[in-house]
Amino acid sequence: METKKFLDSVANNLERLRHARQWSSAELAKRAGVAKATVSQLERRLANPTLETLWALANALGVPFSALIEDEPVKGIRAVVEEGTITTLLAVYGPPLTEVYHMDMRSGIARDAAPHPRGVRETVVVLSGRAEVGSEDFRFLLERGQSTSFAADVPHFYRPLHEDCALVVFVFYPASPLRLQWEKARHRCHNAPDVYEGDIEGDLLDAIRADNRSNERCQTFVVSTHEDGLLHYYVLPLGRWVDNQKESILEEETQEILGPGLRVNTVQDPDLNTVRDVPWILVRDFEPTEAAFHVLAEALAPKGRLIVRVTVLNPYQGRCGYVRESVLYAASRRLSQWDKEKVVDNDLMRQALEAFVQAWRWNDVLTSRTFMKQWVTTPKRLDGPRLIEMASHAGFQLIRHRLVEGMISHTEWGAGSYVVVFARRGGA
Residue 290: which CATH number? Answer: 3.40.50.150
| Among candidate residues 237, 269, 286, the one where a domain is terminated | 237
Is residue 77 situated within a structural domain? no
What CA–CA distance (Å, rounded) separates 271 from 286? 15
Q: What is the pLDDT of residue 247?
A: 59
Shared domain check, 162 and 141: yes
Shared domain check, 89 and 33: no
| Among candidate residues 187, 206, 237, the one where a domain is terminated | 237
CATH number at residue 208: 3.30.70
Is residue 78 situated within a structural domain? no
- Secondary structure (3-state) at 385: helix
Instruction: Spell out the per-residue pLDDT of the chain, length 428, in tens.
Output: 466 777 888 888 888 888 767 788 888 888 888 898 999 899 988 888 888 888 888 888 877 787 787 665 344 455 677 778 888 888 887 767 788 999 999 998 899 988 888 889 999 999 999 999 999 999 999 999 999 999 999 999 999 998 999 999 999 988 777 887 888 888 888 777 789 998 887 778 878 888 888 777 788 998 876 666 678 899 988 765 444 455 566 667 666 665 688 989 999 998 898 889 998 898 988 888 888 999 999 999 988 889 888 876 666 667 777 777 777 777 887 887 777 666 777 778 888 888 888 888 876 666 665 666 677 655 455 677 888 888 999 999 988 887 776 554 434 445 567 788 899 886 55
Shared domain check, 194 and 164: no
| Among candidate residues 122, 148, 175, the one where a domain is terminated | 175
Cα→Cα distances 374→53, 58, 149, 327, Å: 49, 42, 59, 9
Burial of 180 (0-12, 13-18, 19+ CB in 10 A): exposed
Q: Return the amino acid letter for 184.
A: K
What CA–CA distance (Å, rounded) separates 87 from 168? 10
CATH number at residue 65: 1.10.260.40
Shared domain check, 390 and 294: yes
The pLDDT tens digits of the residues spanning 188-207 come to 887 777 899 988 877 788 78
Shared domain check, 404 and 330: no
What CA–CA distance (Å, rounded) separates 62 from 118? 11
By residue range, what is the domain housing residue 55? 1-71
> Global pTM?
0.52
Shared domain check, 220 and 295: no
Shared domain check, 304 and 350: no
Is residue 260 situated within a structural domain? yes
Shared domain check, 392 and 303: yes
Is the bond leading into 96 cis (omega within 30 degrees of zero)?
yes
Is residue 417 situated within a structural domain? yes
**How many domains does the chain divide into?**
5
Q: Which helix (H) or strand (E) holds 5?
A: helix 2-20
**HSE-up (13 A, CA, CB side) for residue 217:** 14
Total Cβ atoms within 10 A of residue 256:
10
Shared domain check, 272 and 225: no
Shared domain check, 204 and 127: no
Shared domain check, 143 and 123: yes
Cα→Cα distances 19→12, 28, 174, 343, Å: 11, 10, 26, 10
Is residue 274 situated within a structural domain? yes
Contact 77, 69 (CB under 8 A): yes
User: For residue 100, what are the contacts with CB-CB under 8 A and spacing of at least 6?
Assistant: 89, 90, 91, 92, 168, 169, 170, 171
Which is nearest to 166 in space by CA: 53, 76, 88?
88
Is residue 206 situated within a structural domain? yes
Shared domain check, 228 and 162: no
Is residue 76 situated within a structural domain? no
Sign of dihedral through CA atoms 287, 292, 293, 296? negative
